[in-house]
Amino acid sequence: MVEESKGERTRQAILDAMYSLIIEQGYAATSMRQIAQRAGLALGGIYNHFPSKDDIFSNLILDRHPFFEILPVLNSVEADSIETYVRTAAQLMVEEMGQHPDFINLLLTEIVEFKGQHIPQVFNKIVPMVLPLGQRIANLSGTTRNIPPLVMMRAFMGMFFSYYITGVLLGPSMPPAMQTEQTLDHFVEIFLHGILVEKENGL
């Protein structure tokens, strides 16, 4: 195991400091002085690692985007069929998001403060992780439509991220029919089979 250098430990301390401050008070209210204090550095010392607050966030989003936590979880799922994989992976993804509610703060900061400018870089970093996962799923037993693996993974992530985020945003205000124990199962069914009932024999 390679031990981190002092410079890398300091860099991680700065990223940790900004992350916690964003969660507590938001990006706009966070200053370089506060980040330095939280990281245990003199203000001048922080500039040896990052030239600006924006630069710290750029490194933070590329280092700790939620998908970097979620994809290894999805890759850990053991299944012999696509249906089993989807059911298990959906449950684990939602559980992982639930353990890190601060993910939403990070994503909203990226969208509101930076207008999504880091998304292309995040995407380029994610694609090499998604491609083998999508191919692995395509090789499981079960017949799927002719959908590219990347599109299938995008649909999967979008479907179950929306399940989680609508639960966070709407919370207790949702009517009971929208938050039963079976709701996630319904989302899985929609992902796997759609919402239309196929007619048999033209009837």
Report pLDDT for 2. 47
The pLDDT tens digits of the residues spanning 78-100 come to 999 999 999 999 999 999 998 88
The pLDDT tens digits of the residues spanning 120-143 come to 999 899 888 888 888 888 788 888
Tokens matching residue 16: 């940790």
pTM above 0.85, yes or no: no
Tokens matching residue 35: 């980040």
The CA distance from 64 to 23, in Å, is 13
Q: Is the pLDDT of residue 144 over 90?
A: no
Share of the chain above pLDDT 70, in %: 96
Domain boundaries for CATH 1.10.357 within the chain: 65-193
Span 192-198, mean pLDDT? 87
Report pLDDT for 156. 92
Span 98-127, mean pLDDT? 89
The pLDDT tens digits of the residues spanning 152-189 come to 888 999 999 999 999 888 888 888 888 888 999 999 99
Domain boundaries for CATH 1.10.10.60 within the chain: 6-63
Report pLDDT for 142. 82
Q: Is the pLDDT of residue 4 over 80?
A: no
CA distances from 40 to 52, 55, 58, 108, 176 (A): 17, 19, 21, 27, 47
The CA distance from 60 to 136, in Å, is 29
Q: Which fold has domain 65-193?
A: Tetracycline Repressor; domain 2 (1.10.357)
Decide if domain 6-63 falls under CATH 1.10.3720.10.
no
The pLDDT tens digits of the residues spanning 33-63 come to 999 999 999 999 899 999 999 999 999 999 9
With cut-offs at 50, 70 and 90, classify the pLDDT of residue 202: low
CB 129 within 8 A of CB 153: no
In sequence order, which residues have a C-beta less than 8 Å from that of residue 182 and are 6 or more positions away?
none
Least confident among 1-5, 22-26, 106-110: 1-5
